[in-house]
Amino acid sequence: MFREDDKYGLRLKFALDCPFCDEGLERVANPRGRDPDFLDEFEREIDLVAFDLLLYHLQASHAERVGLPPIPQDEPTPGGTR
């Protein structure tokens, strides 16, 4: 996680890089930047969300490589609804 000061004020962001491919993501954790104590109060939750996003990417894109079952694909139902 890192803090970035931009034209909208101080924002908390986190960035993740995949260890197996060039994909990565960056998200703003405090999009409005209004609460200066946001990070102190929610740092653990933000870390868990970032880790969850990384795990989801690993399972979706590298399941076999990391020893996870692939994410099942939903079969379309008759009539085009799921």
Per-residue pLDDT of the chain in tens (82 residues, 90 and over written 9): 666 666 666 677 788 889 999 988 888 876 666 676 777 788 888 889 888 998 889 999 999 998 988 888 777 777 766 5
Say what the pLDDT of residue 3 is.
66
| pLDDT confidence of residue 15 | 86
Asked whether residue 45 is assigned to any structural domain, the reply reads yes
Domain-embedded: residue 59: yes
The reported pLDDT for the residue numbered 8 is: 62
User: 62 lies in which domain range?
Assistant: 2-66
Q: Is 61 inside a domain boundary?
A: yes
71 falls within a domain: no
Number of domains within the chain: 1
pLDDT of residue 14: 82
d(CA 34, CA 30): 8
d(CA 35, CA 45): 16
Residue 81 lies in a domain: no
Is residue 72 included in any domain, yes or no? no
Indicate whether 35 belongs to any domain. Answer: yes
Report yes or no on 22 lying in a domain. Answer: yes
Give the dihedral sign, CA 39/1/31/47. negative
CB 58 within 8 A of CB 66: yes
Look at residue 46 in the predicted model and tell me its pLDDT.
84
